[in-house]
Amino acid sequence: MRARNLAVVLDAIHRTGPHTRAALAERTGLTKTTVSSLVADLLEAGVVTESGAVRGGERGRPGVAVSLSGHRVATLGLEINIDYLAACVVDLTRTVRLRRTRPADNRSSNPAEILERLRDLAKETTAEAESAGLRVIGAALAVPGTVEGGVLRSAPHLGWRDVRVEDVIDLPLAIDNEANLAALGELWFGSRDTDFLYVSGEIGIGAGLVVGGTVFRGTFGLAGELGHVVVVPDGPACRCGGRGCLEVYAGQDALLGPLDSVAALVARLESGDPRALEACERAGHALGVALTSAVHLVDPGRIVLGGIFARLFPWLEGPVADGLGARLGQMRGTPPALVVSGIGADAAVLGAAGLVIQRILADPAEVLGL
């Protein structure tokens, strides 16, 4: 009961901003004595802080306001991507305090070796946060693959199967698919819209569907594999065993062709290189087909292009929007808006840190041991 009340009080502070204890009592229906005792615990744990006087409650007597504290409790976001490792630290107010990225080549790699490097990065980042007075109390890891029951089941581009990661750091560690976490990153650190399909363009292509502020995960947590939606049933073989999947036409390898980086592709596009433009046109056309199927099946509020698709948005927007308009227009009037993610490559690692923040806010007693 006390755990539940702590969550109720913290939720009120989090959602509707600084409140006096009296205002919190009014909002939550708890007695002022109970609220004062709960707030004392939250203050002690560094979850909330007291700030300047505000008008509190109906009588309007000024009081000391209690608000979320960004000064003590923080969480660690981690990411293993195909060509980099990343870490970030986010405080309870969802302010990003640190970001660290290390280029890497993780294709067909040895899990133990990469996890060792991730451990180093996590340790350094945590130490740096702690030297700034933050207490990092939990972490989450974004991976480019499917996750079931806390285990990385399959990350084909890494060449990993059935890898356990919980020992990477000496903190409680959650693990989730990078597209799901990038979608949550977009929700908490990007547009803050609550209904959208986030499309994560990387070497693989994933999607995270957010409906009413919650990620839809499907029955086994495997939803959102947009990269393997069929675009051409008898198209080229895909590494998944299927044929003509979206990834074959719009994954990073298809877009880059012989080029070695997205920056090189963007430079070619800016100079009007016909082969580069054609690759984007083809990818955009395939994305339009796959997203048409996705809109019919999951009915997203809008479509947010992220990852490398965000950098290529000027060249992808036209063909994708044309495809959606031509195929969806008659049934839906206007198709869902197509927009670009504003948070770029950091989406997944920020979403990972945000996931742990969400857990603290939902159940501070459990997560913080109050």
Helix (H) or strand (E) holding 225: none
Q: Does 254 bind its own copies (CB under 8 A)?
A: no
Of 65-73, 114-122, 216-224, 267-275, the segment contacting its own copies by CB under 8 A is: 216-224
Give 191's contacts (C-beta < 8 A, 6+ positions apart).
Answer: 304, 339, 341, 342
Q: Does 240 bind its own copies (CB under 8 A)?
A: yes
Residue number with CB closer to its own copies (56 or 145): 145
Q: What x-and-dash track marks residues 269-288 binding its own copies by CB under 8 A?
A: ----------------x---
**Beta pairing class for 160-164 and 151-155:** antiparallel
User: How many CB atoms lie under 10 A from the CB of residue 52?
Assistant: 9
Among 93, 191, 293, 358, contact with its own copies (rule: CB under 8 A):
293
Residue number with CB closer to its own copies (266 or 298): 298
Question: How near is the Cβ of 264 to its own copies at its closest, in Å?
Answer: 29
Q: What x-and-dash track marks residues 314-343 binding its own copies by CB under 8 A?
A: ------------xxxxxxx-----------
- Token pair 């913290």 in the structure block, residue: 10
Give 270's contacts (C-beta < 8 A, 6+ positions apart).
Answer: none
Helix (H) or strand (E) holding 172: none
| Both tokens assigned to 190 | 């990007």
DSSP codes, 75-134: EEEEEE-SSEEEEEEEETT--EEEEEEEE---TT--HHHHHHHHHHHHHHHHHHHHHTT-
Helix (H) or strand (E) holding 258: none
Question: How near is the Cβ of 256 to its own copies at its closest, in Å?
Answer: 23
Q: Does 116 bind its own copies (CB under 8 A)?
A: no
Of 63-71, 89-97, 127-135, 208-216, the segment contacting its own copies by CB under 8 A is: 208-216
Q: Does 230 bind its own copies (CB under 8 A)?
A: yes
Question: How near is the Cβ of 90 to its own copies at its closest, in Å?
Answer: 27
Q: Does 362 bind its own copies (CB under 8 A)?
A: no
* Distance set, CA 346 to CA 89, 151, 286 (Å): 12, 23, 25
Q: Does 207 bind its own copies (CB under 8 A)?
A: yes
Among 294, 343, 360, 368, contact with its own copies (rule: CB under 8 A):
294
Q: Which residues bind its own copies (CB under 8 A)?
A: 146, 154, 156, 195, 207, 211-212, 216-226, 228-233, 240-243, 285, 289-290, 292-294, 296-301, 326-332
